[in-house]
Chains A and B, each alone.
Chain A
Amino acid sequence: MIDLAAKAFDALLAGLILWLAWSSLSTQDILKGIVLFIAFGLCMGLAWVRLNAPDIALVEAAVASGITGAMLLGAWNKMRLSLAKMRGDETKLPEPGRPWLHISGLMAMGGALGWAIFSIPPENTGGLLVPAMRELPRSGVGNPVTAALLNYRAYDTLLEIGVLLLAVVGVWSIAKSRKPAQGVPRGPILYGFARISAPLLILIGGYFLWLGTSRAGGAFQAGALMAAVGVLLVLTYGPTRRVPAEWIDRWGSIFGLTVFLTLGIGFMLQGRAMLEYSAGSAGAWILVIESAATVSIGWTLLLLFLGGRPQAASQKGILVEEDEVEGQA
């Protein structure tokens, strides 16, 4: 009975994931596509838990359906507003050409992928599980995923923070930041909500950061929560507050990478390989790096959400949406 119900759950979830992927992409209505994509992220979160991957589920919850969803909504709305201003037509698009060619190519690819899945040897060798667990006591943390991210493969994480920074550089050089709409009234309920939940979110972010050393959690989860605090505050108070000076954005986003690199080079000067922690103190160094990375990841994700370089804070209340058509109403 239990086994049957578990199988039914898995099959239903897999079907839902496939249906959501298909329907979020096949609709002409972009908002519908985005909302279905957010629901897709929720179902993926359930699938990660089913696959014993709570770390991925946490990141999926925070990043994929929180930050990416807000980013997509903002970009869609900005595009819509600027098209309305330019009298562009969003719905008139050329017909997709020759789908059958694509479909036959993809059928062949799907067959090959399915064959590859079924030809994986059934006796599971465990991959890198055995060495990863063997070295865990020496890695300084209790969670094998954190150990893989910040000890065994710390280079990956270093470069990943670098990629986030590069994305900010790219976004800043092609666009001005998207600003919260001014004409939409906020109201006491929203202000009260922001006042209660911003500190709560920061507290929970700290909890996830600390949790990462022993269980599922870590810098990315905590950083995404910090970014969510930023998104909430920008949306709520954005039209009435000054834009912070640009040096704060710059230092906030490179802080983590700086600490990470300084420590890596410091270890090299002590005669070890880059990011090779000294025996016994690995746990402390990992916590230092993770805390610095949390600040930077949060800041970077917030800057990415803003979708461009923030405008200079010369006067108060400058956050007038340039593409805002509302004033004409």
Chain B
Amino acid sequence: MNGIEVLASIFIGIGLLFFIAGTAGLLRFPDVYMRLHALTKADNLGLGFISLGVGLQTGSWSIGVKLLLIWLAVLLASSTVSHLIARRALRGGMSPWRREQ
């Protein structure tokens, strides 16, 4: 097990942590707007770390470019879709959760 492999496993491990955090947020947050955080932030960062780890491990340029493309596509898609869904929910009259309620 050389240095690159150790680094790759560390990145994949960090990615796993973000995924677990994102899922916890999805399950625990009280309304749809907060759950958007879990979707757009934690999971996409987790995917970034995992693709970094996988890219280091394979060490091939063509796969590296594909991994970057996958990450960018997911970032673009999830930010667009969550914007659309949140706006629609807000205009549909769903009010954000507040603590005092």
Contacts and interface: CB of A to CB of B under 8 A. Distances in A.
Interface stretch (B16-24, B38-46, B51-59, B82-90): B82-90
Interface stretch (A124-132, A159-167, A186-194, A280-288): A186-194
B94 interface: no
A196 B76 contact: yes
B80 interface: yes
A5 B77 CA distance: 32
Contacts of B76: 193, 196-197
A277 B87 CA distance: 55
* Interface SS, B side: helix
A185 B90 CA distance: 13
A31 to B, nearest CB: 13
A189 B88 contact: no
A184 B88 contact: yes
Interface in A170-228: 184-185, 187, 189-190, 193, 196-197, 200
Interface string B47-78: 00000000000000000000000000100110
Interface residues of B, number: 9
Nearest to A201: B73
Contacts of B83: 187, 189
A187 B87 CA distance: 10
Contact of B80 (A184, A185, A190): A190
B47 to A, nearest CB: 15
A193 B88 contact: no
Nearest to A189: B83
A148 B86 CA distance: 46
B81 to A, nearest CB: 9
B87 to A, nearest CB: 7
A196 B83 CA distance: 16
Contacts of A185: 87
Contacts of A200: 73
Q: Choose among A185, A187, A193, A197 the residue with the greatest number of B CB atoms under 10 Å from its CB.
A: A193
A189 B79 CA distance: 9
A189 B73 contact: no
A63 B77 CA distance: 18
Contacts of A189: 79-80, 83-84
Contacts of B84: 187, 189-190
Contacts of A196: 76
A251 B80 CA distance: 34
A185 B84 CA distance: 9
Nearest to A203: B69
Contacts of B73: 197, 200
Interface string A118-151: 0000000000000000000000000000000000
A266 B20 CA distance: 59
The 4 closest A-B CB pairs, nearest first, are A193-B80, A189-B83, A189-B80, A193-B76
Interface of A: 184-185, 187, 189-190, 193, 196-197, 200
Interface of B: 73, 76-77, 79-80, 83-84, 87-88
Given A185-B87, A189-B79, 14 more contacts: A184-B88, A187-B83, A187-B87, A189-B80, A189-B84, A190-B80, A190-B84, A193-B77, A193-B80, A196-B76, A197-B73, A197-B76, A197-B77, A200-B73
19 contacts: A184-B88, A185-B87, A187-B83, A187-B84, A187-B87, A189-B79, A189-B80, A189-B83, A189-B84, A190-B80, A190-B84, A193-B76, A193-B77, A193-B80, A196-B76, A197-B73, A197-B76, A197-B77, A200-B73
